[in-house]
Amino acid sequence: MAEAFAGFLCGYALSVIATPAFALALVRGRVHSPFIQRAMPEGTNLAALSIVLHVFLLLVLTAIGMLLGVLLYGLENNRPDGGLGSPNRVYTIVILAIAAIAILPLAIVLPRQRLGLLAMGAVFAVTFGWLMPYLSLLAPEE
């Protein structure tokens, strides 16, 4: 199951990249959001916040990556045709759809965070839609 391991690695890489971005977004969001002001009062230790965020993102994104790896494995056995710059066109279309369904409604509802949300969706799509299938091809044949 090289696909699941590739998903784990992509989820881990994404958690390392996303931790500082989310920490900065939370710190900047304190100005506009009363909820964030109550949850994260002035003087909150940013190092502790980053550690908690990283552990949370690590667990969530590696689990998502492994589940998407199982999906890739199933689609590789049924539809292994390439396209869209990916070794598995159907899988990449599914990942693009998941990213669009998750990000576009939020980008419409939250206009202040629109650019960050769209960038986050693009990074998710590139990491899991293109990097992960190619990474899974690097595994030795069983």
CB of 58 closer than 8 Å to CB of 12: yes
Per-residue pLDDT of 115-128, as tens digits, reads 988 999 999 999 99
Provide the 3-class DSSP secondary structure of residue 101: helix
Domain spans of the chain, in order of start = 2-137
Averaging pLDDT over each range in 5-9, 19-23, 71-75, which range is the top one?
A: 5-9
Separation CA 93–CA 70 (nearest Å): 16
Which residue in 132, 124, 13 sits closest to 76, CA to CA?
A: 132
Average pLDDT over residues 45-73: 91
Reported pTM: 0.83
The encoded tokens of residue 66 equal 């492994």
Alpha helices, H only, 30-142: 34-39, 46-78, 89-109, 114-126, 132-137
